[in-house]
Structures are given as structure tokens and as C-alpha cells.
Amino acid sequence: MYPLLTGLRVVECASFIAAPSCALYLRQHGAEVIRIDPIGGGPDFRRWPVSAEGHSYYWEGLNKGKRSIAIDLARPQGRQLAVDLITAAGADGGLFVTNFPRTGFLAHEALARRRADLITVRVAGWRDGEAAVDYTVNAALGLPWLTGPAQTPDVPVNHVLPAWDLLTGAYAAFAALAAERHRLRTGQGQEVTIPLSDVALACLGHTGQIAEVLEHGDRPRHGNALFGAFGRDFVTADGQRVMVVAITRRQWTGLVASLGLQPAVAALEVSLQQSFERDEGLRFTHRDALFPLFERAIGARTLAEASAAFDANDVCWGRYRTLSQGLAGDSRLSLDAELFTHLQHPSGLSYPAPGAMGRFGGVPRLPAARAPRLGEHTDEVLAQVLGLSAARIGELHDAGLVASPAPVPWKDPP
Amino acid sequence: MYPLLTGLRVVECASFIAAPSCALYLRQHGAEVIRIDPIGGGPDFRRWPVSAEGHSYYWEGLNKGKRSIAIDLARPQGRQLAVDLITAAGADGGLFVTNFPRTGFLAHEALARRRADLITVRVAGWRDGEAAVDYTVNAALGLPWLTGPAQTPDVPVNHVLPAWDLLTGAYAAFAALAAERHRLRTGQGQEVTIPLSDVALACLGHTGQIAEVLEHGDRPRHGNALFGAFGRDFVTADGQRVMVVAITRRQWTGLVASLGLQPAVAALEVSLQQSFERDEGLRFTHRDALFPLFERAIGARTLAEASAAFDANDVCWGRYRTLSQGLAGDSRLSLDAELFTHLQHPSGLSYPAPGAMGRFGGVPRLPAARAPRLGEHTDEVLAQVLGLSAARIGELHDAGLVASPAPVPWKDPP
């Protein structure tokens, strides 16, 4: 955690990845985040991956450092408490992150009648407000037809990374600060709506793929080959797999030199009357001529030999590993780095958890904090933010409108 | 473009996706961005996809609305000009976005001697500063072993989306505003370093995958099935493919109802003595029992029948299309929406380009602007930001230290 946004108070009422990760980034950069959940947990409270006992690693990963209040959101009195929290006074408050529908009791217009300078950052699925996830957006945008072995028959191949969700979360955090900067100067709040499908579509546009498809039609499947430059997986003499990429001129000349392929590549350039060094695109269009040279050269070297040659020539490459192999065997992925804090989590398990993804040189990095237990800060938030008395808070508990965690034994970290 | 960050001046000296998209987001939300390129273009100037004439759609997608200055960065005098621009005075200036190495003439420490409150946002590859791209990071983190058909033999399957690059760009824009908010309050600048590999690793941690692998070992390949809930691709009676997902209880009950599968699912629940409605994880662990029910039900319906039933029951689903089919056939992906502006680009081609990915309700959306031609604003930037005289600018041109585009005919949009 970096103390950059100190004092800023964010209220989150959300589930899954995009909106919770937006609030997580705000939290990990110094803001206070109060997460409102329904009593018993929202739809992401048991989302996989889970521990052997069914505790969600996902939930406790995405809610680190937040304060948790559990409210019965099905009843009007509970909804009013949520509205009160979202619109509570304070110059640095009034920042609300959600994926709830734009109609209903968390509609921005209704909230803004209580606090005119409210900023609502609302993540949506499709542009029209319908539900969407990465998988359904990707299906509509053609990515599963580009993924997978080139010889794959006519079936789509999903990729497993919730990329748009993650991207939407980071962009939402940026959008929140952009709106908040505007509010600091003008006093004006507003609603920001971020459809997952617009994020995906815009990114395909930003990287040239919309222009490409409008001009050239759909891109075919290229298997494991990088599009538009040199890159593919290769197998070493000892059966290890490596991904090798050469986009820049320096990466290309380094790669060719590392494998002693200058004469073979030069001969190919002479026969084609082209320069691979000058034009990265030629390395792609002539990949069927180039790949066999690299297959043979890498296939003649053990992983140890190839990696030594690659590293001596600043080649951009990576060894294919499983996640557990990567974490254990690659020092650049060590969980002992300052990015991680070893924590005991609500699941009861202890494991390293990542803090802020960037390194800020001007402020100290503070340890990451664990996720709350559901409703852990219910009383504290009601007292501090809404100024409710202990008696009033007790009434809310008695009426079942708010909840705190059951007093299960909680082992403090050693 | 939204006028939110009006007045903020950003200088970019970068290539590829992450750092340029960071500056693009700042630009599309109102900041001024000056992009410094070497004369003739940086390593991304001809990056694919490209037009038939070799103009990069990628470059003109990632640099929309920026001002371009072309400088000979190989010579000390050219480097000094870049340093002068990065550290130029002005309360809202001094924000620098780059992917150049942290050593060398663009080292933060050296720049900060010229402007103490400078904010440098530096994107890196690996944590140790070595070059990395999505493909090599993914190989190290095991994603290619999770991607692709479950029956795929022991080969990795790359996915084609530069997800970490895109995410790093959005997070970098957030980090820039967080650092700038801190500077507004304290006067203090700093360097922010964002390694692509740390972004990837942190996101696996945030979504629970590090805890999962430490406790349970590596996740196997699940093909097109969603992990941890119900989801997969299915084929309709008329041979169309759909992706169907049910994470929430409502999505599940809607899906089951839409296909008339209540009796079959209820019978399965009785035999298993479990409730799929109450536990999304069971929909995953028992997928081999569930999938055949859905295969038969969806396989018995045409796409028209299935889609009508899905939509009537708020099912979360998507049809697999190619990108061109999606853009042409799905109104939610229409390029005529306010997200897009039809522009003539430096390639000479006209096509719709996306603006800011979010919708801001409190300020007007202004049209997106095209990318510059390389060096289009060289003279303007030297005069406005550095206050150089026309004579001095002429000397710089004569010495080959700066360049403007060749006076090729430029067709103004109609």
C-alpha cells in the first residue's frame, strides 16, 4: 500500500473482478474503501478458486485491505443505509464504485439528489446494460477463432484469462481519479459508465485490429506464432519448450546471432531480396521459411545451452512452465519480492498477497493488508461514517438489517 | 475525448502498447500529450497490422490525438532537446511516460535534477528490467498450459490478446494520476516503475490463483469450460456455436428454465443430493454430468430458437462470430456508437476510431482526433513549449536534429 490517495473515501457495492479490482487499486494506493455486501455475501463470495473448506481465494484476493459492512439490501431500511454510506458528507468522500444496474435503488440520479457532487463509477457488461463476461464478449469479437493451433478444426478456442475484466478494473480506477480531479477543480460530480464490451472493442481499435478487419477481412488463426513479427514456441534438444520473440531490430539481430544463424538468414535474405533486419513484418510473412531454421538450431541445443546463448545476446524469450514451476524456479517471479506481503487471510490460510503493482519511488511501500471477514467493520463503519450510536447500531442488528461475522475463533498472525 | 484533465501536459517517449496506451488514455480524457519519436519513427512505427501500403494501423491507433515531435535521439543535442521538453516548466507539466530503460539519458534521477517535481511513469518488462512481452510472461506463468482443448497433447497454446500490455497501460494511467494527485498536495514528484511481469503476477494473486496453486498445485487444462462455475461452448441444431455462462444464481435458474431443463437438473440434484442453484462450484465439479443435458437441449434448437429463449430468461450468453461478423451483425458492437469517431488517418484511410472507453455523464464527449503524422508538430512544440525562435528551429532542422513530415499531399477530410 502506498500513501498517495490518503483521505479519499470510496464506497464499493459490487461483485466479481472489474469493479472490486478498481476499488482494490484505489485502496492499495492509499484510499479508504468501504465494501458493502449483502448479509451472507454477494454473488462472488464463494467464487472459485476456493480452499478445501470452500473459502474463496478470489474474494479474499480482490478485497484486500477494504473495510466490510454487511447489510440486508433486500429491505428498504437496509437500502437506505447503503445510500447513506454512499452519499455521506466529507470533501474526500462521495466516490462510489459499483456494478449494480443503473436503474434501481443505486441509480446515480437518485444518489446525486442526496449528494450533488457524487462520482459514480459503474461497470456494465454490454453497452446496452445486459450482462456479459469475458467469455461472451470474446465470442462476439472473434478472439476464439484466432486462438489455438493453426490446424485446429473449425472450433473456437477460449482463452482463460479474464483480460477485459482486469482491464476494465484498472481503467475504472483511472476514470475515477480523472473524474475526481475534475471535481476538485469544479466541484462537479458525475456518473461514469464503463461497459466491458466497449473496453474490449476500443482496445481492438487502439491496436489497429478494427482498421485491419475493415480493410483486409478477418485475420486467420496463426497458432502459437506472434502476429506481425517473429515469434513462436520451439522445443530444445532436451525436450523443453521456449517462447522466442523478435519484434525490434535488436531483438532480431541478437536472436540470429545467439543461434549462429547469420549465414542461413543472410542466404534467405539474398534469395528473397529482402532484409529481415529492416522490416519486422517480413519476419512474419516469411515465417514458413524462417521457422525451420530456428527449429533446427534450437532443437540442437539443450535448454541450458539455448538459454545461455539467448541471455548473452539479450534475446526476448521465456521458458514455458506451469505456474507452480514459474513461482518456484524463476527469481523474477519470486513471491518474496516487495510486491508481496505474507498474510494470514480470512480463509485461515497464510500465503503471500500482492500489493500495488507499480513501484512508487517517492513514498514508502506499506505492507498489504488482508481482506476483511464479511461484515467485520459493520459497527465501526456505522459509527464512524454515519455517526450512529451504539444503541442505534444494536437496533439495526436486532432487526437483522446489518450483520457482523460470527464470533468464530480468529487466529492472529504470529 | 472528455475535457477532464484539461491543462495537464504529458510527454511520452515510448513504443508498443503499454506506455503509449497510458498516454492515449490521458489524452482521451483531456490532457495534452507530446510524443517524442526518433526521426524516421521508433521500433513501433511500422508494427502490424499495417495497410496495403505498409502504414501501421497499430501506430495510428495508439497515438490518436497526440502531438508528434521527431528528434535525432542518437546525438547529444537531440537528447538534450528531449530532456528540455520532459522537464519544461509549468504547474501542470512534468509528467513523463516512457518504456526506455531506467539507466541512460532518460534516467529519472538525471531528469529530476532539471525538474524536481517530475513524475516519471516507466513501464518495464521483467521485474529486473529485462525485456518481456505478453507471450514470454505468459509462458513463464503457465497460462499456455491452461489454454486450449482439454484433449490437447502436451503442447502449450498461446492466447493472442496482449492482455498484460493493455492492462499495464491502463494501470499506468491510474498510477500517473495517483502520483499527480499526491504532487498537487505535496509538491513532490517521483518515479513509478511498472514491470509487465509484476502486473501479471499481481493479477493472478488478486484473483486467487497464487493461493490456489500454493495449496492445490497447478490447475489442469479445462478446454473451453469456464473455471469454477457453469460455462462452455455449445452447438445449435443449425450448427451455430454459442458460449453460455451461469455464474450467479439468477443466470443459472434463467438458463435452466430457458431450455426446459428443470426436471432433468432436479433429478440430477436428487441423485447427487446437492443444489446447483445454491453452489456455483458444484456446476463446475459436476460438469461432466451437466454438459450432456445442455448439449442435447441446445443441439435440439436452432440458433434463433435458442437465442429467443436465452434472451427471454436473461441468460448470459454470446454467439461465436468472427470480428467482421460481430461488427456487422451485433448492434451492441456497432461502430456508429458515440464511442467511435469516423476519421481520416495518417495512412490515408478513413475508418471509425474509438475514443474514451468510459462514458462520462458530466462533461461533453468531444470527437476523437486522428494520430499525427510523424513529426507533424515538431516546430509548434519547439516554439510553444521551449519558446524557441523560428531561426533556432530552422538551425535544428538544418543540423538534422529535428524533422517534420515530408510535404506529401494530405487530403483533408471532407
For residue B177, the chain A residues in CB contact (below 8 A) are 174, 177-178, 181
Taking an 8 Å cut-off on Cβ atoms, the answer to whether A201 and B339 are in contact is: yes
pLDDT of residue A153: 79
CB contact under 8 A, A131 and B251: yes
Chain B residues touching A19 at Cβ < 8 A: none
C-alpha distance from B392 to closest chain A C-alpha (Å): 33
Q: Which amino acid is at A182?
A: H
Chain B: closest CA distance from residue A47 (Å): 7
Please state, in angstroms and rounded to a whole number, the distance separating the CA atoms of residues A156 and B242.
Answer: 10
Structure ipTM over 0.90, yes or no? yes
Percent of chain B whose predicted confidence (pLDDT) is above 90: 96
- The helix (run of H) or strand (run of E) holding residue A213 is helix A209-216
Q: pLDDT tens for residues B319-356?
A: 999 999 999 999 999 999 999 999 999 999 999 999 99
pLDDT tens for B209-263 read 999 999 999 999 999 999 999 999 999 999 999 999 999 999 999 999 999 999 9
From the list B37, B44, B72, B165, the catalytic residue is B165
Please judge whether A178 and B175 are an interchain contact, meaning their C-beta atoms are less than 8 angstroms apart: no
- Answer whether residue B407 shows pLDDT above 80: no
Name the β-bridge partners of B341. B353
* Secondary element (H or E) of residue B70: strand B67-71
Rounded to two decimals, the pTM is 0.97
A chain contacts of residue B66, beta-carbon cutoff 8 Å: none
In percent, how much of chain B has pLDDT > 70? 98
pLDDT in tens, A348-384: 999 999 999 999 999 999 998 999 999 999 999 999 9
Q: What is the pLDDT of residues B273-325, one digit of tens each?
A: 999 999 999 999 999 999 999 999 999 999 999 999 999 999 999 999 999 99
pLDDT of residue A151: 83
CA A314, A316, A317, A322 torsion-angle sign:
positive
Query: In sequence order, what are the residues at sequence separation of 6 or more whose Cβ sits closer than 8 angstroms to the Cβ of residue A213?
Result: A219, B323, B324, B327
Contact B217, A324 (CB under 8 A): yes
Are A193 and B29 a contacting pair at CB < 8 A?
no
Query: Given an 8 Å threshold on Cβ–Cβ distance, is A182 in contact with B363?
Result: yes
> Does residue B154 have a pLDDT over 90?
no
Taking a contact as any Cβ pair under 8 Å apart, which residues of chain B between 127 and 186 contact chain A? 127-128, 130-133, 135-149, 152, 155-163, 166-167, 170-175, 177-182, 184
Q: Do B280 and A47 touch (CB under 8 A)?
A: yes
Do the Cβ atoms of A47 and B324 come within 8 Å?
no
Query: What would the grid cell of residue B63 be?
Result: 497515438
In chain B, the residue whose alpha carbon lies closest to the alpha carbon of A180 is B4
Which string of b and e fits B147-170 if b means at least 16 CB within 10 Å? Answer: bbbeebeeebbbbbbbbbbbbbbb
Query: Which of A313, A323, A347 to mutate against chain B (most B CBs within 10 Å)?
Result: A323
Judging contacts by C-beta atoms under 8 Å, the chain A residues touching residue B95 are: none
Contact between residue B372 and residue B63 where contact means Cβ atoms under 8 Å apart: yes
Non-local CB neighbours of B311 within 8 Å, separated by 6+ positions: none
Q: What are the phi and psi torsion angles at B219 (to 5°)?
A: -70, 135
Mutate which: B255, B284, B333, vs A, most A CBs within 10 A: B333
> Does A363 sit within 8 Å of B140, measured CB to CB?
no
Distance CA B132, CA B198 (A): 11
| Best of A143, A222, A331, A333 to mutate (most B CBs within 10 Å, chain B) | A333
Q: Which of B179, B229, B320 sits opposite A139 (nearest CB)?
A: B320
E-state strands within B80-238 = 95-98, 119-124, 190-195, 230-235
Predicted local distance difference test score (pLDDT) of residue A161: 97
* Residue of chain B whose alpha carbon sits nearest to that of A4: B182
Chain B: closest CA distance from residue A392 (Å): 33
Contact between chains at A161 and B161 (C-beta distance less than 8 A): yes
Please report the residues numbered 228 through 267 in chain A whose beta carbons come closer than 8 angstroms to any beta carbon of chain B: 228-229, 231, 233, 241-243, 245, 247-249, 251
**Which letter does DSSP use for residue B230 in this model?**
E
Which residue in A57, A135, A326 is closest to B226 by CB distance?
Answer: A135
Task: Flag if B47 and A280 touch (Cβ within 8 Å).
Answer: yes
pLDDT score recorded for residue B410: 54
- CB contacts of B351 in chain A (<8 Å) are 210-211, 214-215
Check CB contact under 8 Å for A219 and B136. no
pLDDT confidence tier of residue B160, bands split at 50, 70 and 90: very high
Report the chain A residue with the minimal C-alpha distance to residue B343: A211
B332 DSSP assignment: G
Q: How many CB atoms lie within 10 A of CB A113?
A: 12
Question: Looking at residues B113-135, what average pLDDT do you find?
Answer: 97
**Please, which residues 66-105 of chain B have a Cβ atom closer than 8 Å to chain A?**
none
Q: A258 near A282, Cβ under 8 Å?
A: no
Partner-chain contact B174 A179, CB within 8 Å: no
Q: Do B318 and A351 touch (CB under 8 A)?
A: no
Convert the pLDDT of each residue in A381-410 to its tens digit: 999 999 999 999 999 999 999 999 977 655
Is A306 in CB contact (< 8 Å) with chain B? no
% chain A with pLDDT above 90: 96
Test B139 with A233 for CB contact under 8 angstroms. Answer: yes
- Band (A413; pLDDT cuts 50, 70, 90): low
Q: Which residues of A are catalytic?
A: 165
Residue A172 has pLDDT above 90, yes or no: yes
Integer CA distances (angstroms), B47 to A93, B15, B43, B251, B409, in order: 44, 10, 8, 41, 23
Rounded Cα distance, A161 and B227, in Å: 10
The answer to whether the Cβ–Cβ distance between A62 and B318 falls below 8 Å is: no
B55 vs A contacts (CB less than 8 Å): none
Reduced to 3 states (helix: H, G, I; strand: E, B; else coil), residue A21 is: helix
Return the number of CB contacts < 8 Å for A and B: 528
Q: Inform me whether the pLDDT recorded for A412 exceeds 70.
A: no
Per CB-CB distance under 8 Å, the chain A contacts of B145 are 320, 322
Q: Is B395 on the interface with A (CB under 8 A)?
A: no
Q: Which residues of B275-299 are buried (b: 16+ CB within 10 A; e: fewer)?
A: ebbeebbbbbebbeebeebbeebbe
Closest by Cβ to A61, choosing from B157, B206, B333: B206
How far is Cα A23 from Cα A7, in angstroms, rounded to an integer? Answer: 14
B226 and A CB contact within 8 Å:
yes
Chain A residues in contact with B24 (beta carbon < 8 A) = 206
